[in-house]
Chains A and B, each alone.
Chain A
Amino acid sequence: MTRLEATRLVVEAAGDSPIVASLGHPAYDLFGAGDRPQNFYTWGSMGVASSIGLGLALARPDMRVFVIDGDGSLLMNLGSLATIGLLQPPNLSVVIVDNEAYATTGGQATPTAAGADLEAAARAMRLDACTVRVEAELRAALADRRVPRAIVAKVAESAPAAKPPLDCVFIKHRFMAALGNPE
């Protein structure tokens, strides 16, 4: 399963629900999988995608909120798992597309390549968590409405060819309007 294939499944499962994507290749693949107003593409702030998703989930308990994070990004903000575990938002699903590399910066190996286990980290912080390796497993995990709140999807790099819009304020306006919170 490539990251793009995994991302397509997240978009399919999300329907009209918002998706927050970590910067770089996860955001590029979200754009490639299907640009939609409910996509929030980050262009910086490495590590905080799951925090943005948590805030959104707290603000909008009526919505299911998805986050597409990277392994390198989540490792930069592991405390986020503790906060999510503390608050137990019932509407937040964090999908970690784990390619075991900092792909956006040239493919340097992350600690998950040597066995660092993000599913175990999520469980230790009181999230429901699972690891999936093929599309059928990911599809089933995404459909599980008991929300396995952290889904570690082991993926192959998919070398995105397109990038989302660069205008940060446009991304924000479009996203907020789509969620019914126009500025």
Chain B
Amino acid sequence: MSPVPLWAAGVCAGLHAAGCREVVYVPDNPLSHVLTELGERYPDVRLVLATREEEAFGIAAGLYLGGRRPAVMLQSSGLGNSLNAIGSLVMPYQIPMLVVVSMRGDAGEWNAAQVPMGRAVRPIFDAFALPHVTVDSAERAADIVRVAAATAFATRIAGACLLPRRLTVAEHEGR
């Protein structure tokens, strides 16, 4: 098995350092590296599979109400499935969580169907006043994710980390 990419190890280290022990996810190819790393090296992190992204945000909200620090992981396409839960639960109730978005539709995309939603991700987060940061460096991934999560839990406003294909696919393909 190939070693875990540096960016994926960084995402795991960052969320763990911020106290996240619950990761609710809908799978995605690049995220598979994160999920594998969490499963193998972070036995204190619980992985919860959701059938749809909106459900994942609901489960994460319940985990937070129960005193946990949740993260949600999804592909950018799944953000479209999540908007009502974010807009009418996560934001107005000020339920913080780390949101990790594996981007499609940006540089390197091969599937035109992924482009419109991918391009809408940042404007949508801006419209919800949900802070987001792009993880543009594998070396800095742990720090970026840790700070985004810590800020979210301190301010009670969910925070998103976007993983662009330039980050996830190049290493994924071993280039």
Q: Which residues of B contact A58 (CB under 8 A)?
A: 22, 46, 48, 59, 62-63, 66
Asked if A172 contacts B62 (CB within 8 A), the reply is no
Instruction: Tally chain A residues at the interface, Cβ within 8 Å.
Output: 38
A183 at the interface (CB under 8 A from B): yes
Asked if B55 contacts A80 (CB within 8 A), the reply is yes
Interface positions, chain A 33-64, Cβ under 8 Å from B, are: 40, 42-60
Interface positions, chain B 16-52, Cβ under 8 Å from A, are: 22, 24, 46, 48-52
A47 to B55, CA, bound (A): 8
Q: Tell me if A's interface is mostly helix, strand, loop or mixed.
A: helix
A60 to B50, CA, bound (A): 19
Interface positions, chain A 167-182, Cβ under 8 Å from B, are: 168-169, 171-172, 175-176, 179-181
A82 at the interface (CB under 8 A from B): yes
Q: Tell whether A46 pairs with B84 under 8 Å between CB atoms, given A58-B46, A58-B48.
A: yes
Asked if A175 contacts B65 (CB within 8 A), the reply is yes
Contact of A44 among B56, B62, B92 (CB under 8 A): B92
Q: Which residues of A contact B55 (CB under 8 A)?
A: 48, 51, 77, 79-80, 83
Nearest residue, chain B, Cβ from A78: B51
B95 CB to closest chain A CB (Å) equals 7
Contact of B51 among A55, A56, A79 (CB under 8 A): A79
Asked if A48 contacts B65 (CB within 8 A), the reply is no
Contact of A55 among B52, B63, B87, B156 (CB under 8 A): B63
Asked if B54 contacts A77 (CB within 8 A), the reply is yes
Asked if B84 contacts A44 (CB within 8 A), the reply is yes
Q: Which residues of A contact B94 (CB under 8 A)?
A: 168-169, 172
Contact of B88 among A20, A45, A176 (CB under 8 A): A45
Asked if B67 contacts A171 (CB within 8 A), the reply is no
B70 at the interface (CB under 8 A from A): yes
Produce 1/0 per residue, A74-108, CB < 8 A to B: 00010110110011000000000000000000000
25 contacts between A and B (CB under 8 A): A44-B89, A47-B54, A49-B58, A50-B58, A51-B50, A51-B58, A55-B60, A56-B65, A56-B66, A57-B62, A58-B22, A58-B46, A59-B62, A77-B58, A83-B48, A83-B49, A168-B94, A169-B93, A172-B95, A175-B65, A179-B65, A179-B66, A180-B67, A181-B66, A183-B156
User: What is B's interface to A at a CB cutoff of 8 Å?
Assistant: 22, 24, 46, 48-52, 54-68, 70, 84-85, 87-89, 92-95, 156
12 new A-B contacts, CB < 8 A, other than A52-B62, A57-B62, are A44-B84, A45-B58, A45-B85, A50-B58, A51-B56, A51-B62, A52-B59, A54-B59, A56-B62, A58-B22, A79-B51, A168-B94
